[in-house]
């Protein structure tokens, strides 16, 4: 069996003479632009993901950070630190005196609050807690001896 490939070869030769050369410039340019757009989109998406990851981490950390203005949690068997409003209900300050906005300092069953007065100077009111009576006014002064109050740890309103 013999194949007669002569007419096929002649047809292919004729086609190659009339076909000219392939112009790949436009296709290459189009593909290059397409790849550039994809790279820009991928970079933008990665940047957005990083921003959300950092923002989420910061938001999580901030939401789980204890409130600095909140009084410390009481130890087991110890009362919660009272608010300025609670202590204000226990004493009647002179008309031009008021509790300072610095808050209440607590240690075990003792609490102290700074008082603002026109004459200036440091004045603190000391309060004591007992389970049967709750918080009660104890004393007025600047500092107290922790040992005399029966405190086993230093307190911000004590001398030792």
pLDDT of residue 1 exceeding 60: no
125, burial (CB in 10 Å: exposed 0-12, middle 13-18, buried 19+)? buried
Sign of CA dihedral 140, 141, 144, 148: negative
pLDDT band at 66 (very low <50, low <70, confident <90, very high): low
Buried/exposed code over 47-85 (b: 16+ C-beta within 10 A; e: otherwise): eeeeeeeeeeeeeeeeeeeeeeeeeeeeeeeebebbebe
Q: Quick check: 124 and 114 in contact, CB under 8 A?
A: yes
pLDDT of 4 reads 81
Give, as one character, the DSSP assignment of residue 144. B
98 shares a domain with 143: yes
> Average of pLDDT values for 3-32?
81
Sheet holding 123-130, edge to edge: 98-107, 110-116, 123-130, 134-141
Residue 94 domain-assigned? yes
The 3-state DSSP class for residue 148 equals helix
Residue 155 domain-assigned? no
| Phi, psi of 142, rounded to the nearest 5 degrees | -115, -40
pLDDT in tens, 83-133: 888 888 888 888 888 888 777 888 888 899 888 888 877 788 899 998 888
The 3-state DSSP class for residue 115 equals strand
Q: What share of the chain has pLDDT > 90, as a percent?
A: 17
88 shares a domain with 62: no
Residue 136 domain-assigned? yes
144 shares a domain with 91: yes
Structure tokens at 40: 């820009």
96 shares a domain with 46: no
Chosen domain end from 36, 66, 96: 66
Residue range(s) defining the domain that contains residue 129 = 84-149
108 shares a domain with 62: no
Answer left, alpha or beta for residue 72, where phi above 0 means left and psi between -120 and 50 means alpha. Answer: beta
Query: Which of the residue ranges 13-17, 105-109, 134-138 would you say has the lowest mean pLDDT?
Result: 13-17
Q: Is the pTM of this model over 0.75?
A: no
Q: List the one residue out of 67, 85, 97 whose CA is nearest residue 111.
A: 85
Considering only residues 68 and 149, tell me which one the structure prediction assigns the higher pLDDT.
Answer: 149
Structure tokens at 32: 């290059």
Residue 7 domain-assigned? no
Cα 51 to its chain centre, rounded Å, is 15
């Amino acid at each position: 069996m013999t194949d007669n490939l002569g007419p096929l070869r002649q047809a292919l030769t004729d086609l190659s003479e009339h076909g000219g050369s392939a112009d790949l410039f436009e296709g290459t340019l189009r593909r290059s632009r397409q790849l550039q757009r994809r790279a820009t989109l991928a970079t933008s998406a990665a940047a957005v993901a990083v921003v959300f990851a950092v923002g989420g981490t910061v938001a999580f950390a901030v939401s789980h950070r204890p409130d600095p203005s909140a009084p410390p949690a009481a130890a087991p068997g110890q009362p919660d630190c009272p608010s300025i409003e609670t202590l204000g209900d226990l004493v009647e300050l002179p008309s031009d005196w008021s509790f300072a906005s610095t808050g209440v300092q607590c240690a075990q069953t003792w609490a102290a609050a700074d008082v603002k007065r026109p004459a200036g100077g440091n004045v603190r009111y000391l309060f004591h807690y007992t389970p049967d009576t709750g918080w009660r006014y104890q004393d007025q002064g600047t500092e107290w001896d922790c040992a005399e109050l029966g405190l086993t740890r230093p307190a911000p309103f004590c001398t030792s």
